[in-house]
Structure 1
Amino acid sequence: MSDEHKQMRIDAGLVRELAELLSANELSEIEVEDGDRKIRVKRELTVAAAPVQHVVAAPQAASPAAAAPTASAADTASTPMEQAGELVRSPMVGTCYLSAEPGAPAFVGIGDTVKQGDTLLIVEAMKVMNPIVAPRAGKITQLLVANAQPVEFDQPLVVIE
C-alpha cells in the first residue's frame, strides 16, 4: 500500500506551474522528470483551428500598421515586397523581442542593410532567448511583428529584399 501511496503523491503546485507554462507559451504538452517520478501535462488543441486563427491574425497585425502614415505606403505594396523579398519566419512559438533588453535599440529597422547571420530579433520560448538571424544579406523592407508580441510557429516576422 505504501508503494501505491507513493505513486499517488503529486506536487499540485508544480502541476499548476506547468499548466501556466503551457498557456503562457501556447504549448500542447510539457513533461518534467525527477528520478523515477514523471509528470506530464497536456492540453487538447484543435489542429484545424490554429491555422485559421493564424491566417486571420496576420491581416489584423497589418491593419494597425496601415493606420500609420509611414507604414501605409509599405502595406499598400506589401504583396509585391513579399514576392520580391524573402520572408523570415518564426522557427517556434514564443514571444518576439526586437531588442536585446528593454530600452536598448532594436536589432534592425525598416531600411537597414543586414549581412547573412546578423541578428534580426529574438524569440523567447520557455525563458530561452533564441536569436533569429538573417538567412542572407539584404535590406529590411518590413517588420511584421511588434516588440513583446506572441508569435506562432512559421509566422512571418521580417521581409528581406
Structure 2
Amino acid sequence: MIDGKDEQLVESLCRQARALATALPGTLSRVTLTAGDHHVQVEWHARAAAPHTPLPAAEAAQEAEVEVAPLNGHAVVAPLVGTFYRSAEPGAAPFVNENDIVEAGQELAIVEAMKIMNKVEADRAGRIVKIVANDGEMVEFGQELMFIEPPIDEP
C-alpha cells in the first residue's frame, strides 16, 4: 500500500518521466519508477538518423504513439504556493470528490498561505476526473491539483 507521501512522489516522478520521454533522442522502450528509495530508470533506442535530420513522417508518428498520455481534462492549478486542503477544516467533508459534477465558480479546495485561506475555484463546469494533490500537501504555484472533464453536450 502506498502512503500519501509515496503517492505524491510517484505522481511527481510520472510527470517528470512524461517530460523526459518527450525529450529523448529516440524511441522510449522502458520506464521503471520506484517510490521507496527513489528509483527512476529510462531505456530508449537511439535514432539512426543524424541529429539534425528530420524523421520521416511514419517514424515520427510511431514515436508519438510511445509518449505517455496525459490525464484527461482541464487542469485546476494552485493559485499560489501554500498548503492544499480539500475541506474547510479538519474532519469536515471535502469540497469535492472524484466524479463530482461542478459548476464554474464552485469552490473546490483551499490553499493556505501565511494563515490566509485562498479559495481554489472551478474555472469551468464539468466532472472532477482526478484529484492529484493530497490533503495537507505543500503545493507550488501552477502545480496541478485536480482535473475537470468538460460536460458531454447532448444533442
Q: 1:99 aligns with which of 87, 101, 118?
A: 87
Distance change (3 Å), C-alpha of 1:110 and 1:57: closer
**Within-5 A mapping of 1:1-161:** 58-59=12-13, 79-80=69-70, 82=71, 84-161=72-149
Aligned CA-pair RMSD: 2.6
User: Aligned-pair distance for 1:79?
Assistant: 3.2
Distance change (3 Å), C-alpha of 1:138 and 1:147: same
User: Aligned-pair distance for 1:107?
Assistant: 0.3
The structure with the largest strand share of the pair is 2
- Alignment partners' CA distance in 2, 1:79 and 1:57: 14
State, as a whole percentage, how many aligned pairs show the same letter.
45
Q: Which runs of 5+ in 1 are unaligned?
A: 1-54, 65-77
TM-score of the aligned structures, taking structure 2 as reference length:
0.53
TM-score of the aligned structures, taking structure 1 as reference length:
0.51
Q: Secondary structure at the match of 2:83?
A: strand
User: Aligned-pair distance for 1:106?
Assistant: 0.3
- Alignment partners' CA distance in 2, 1:91 and 1:119: 13
User: Aligned-pair distance for 1:57?
Assistant: 6.8
Stretches (4+) displaced over 3 A: none
Q: CA-to-partner distance for each residue in 1:103-157, whole Å, 9 max, x for gaps?
A: 1000000000000001110000011000100010000000011110000111000
Q: Secondary structure at the match of 1:109?
A: coil
User: Aligned-pair distance for 1:59?
Assistant: 2.7
- Alignment partners' CA distance in 2, 1:147 and 1:126: 17
Distance change (3 Å), C-alpha of 1:92 and 1:137: same
Q: Secondary structure at the match of 1:117?
A: coil
Q: Secondary structure at the match of 1:158?
A: strand
Q: Secondary structure at the match of 1:58?
A: helix
- Alignment partners' CA distance in 2, 1:93 and 1:137: 25
Q: Which runs of 5+ in 2 are unaligned?
A: 1-8, 16-33, 36-67, 150-155
The structure with the largest helix share of the pair is 1
- Alignment partners' CA distance in 2, 1:56 and 1:140: 21
Larger Rg: 1 or 2? 1
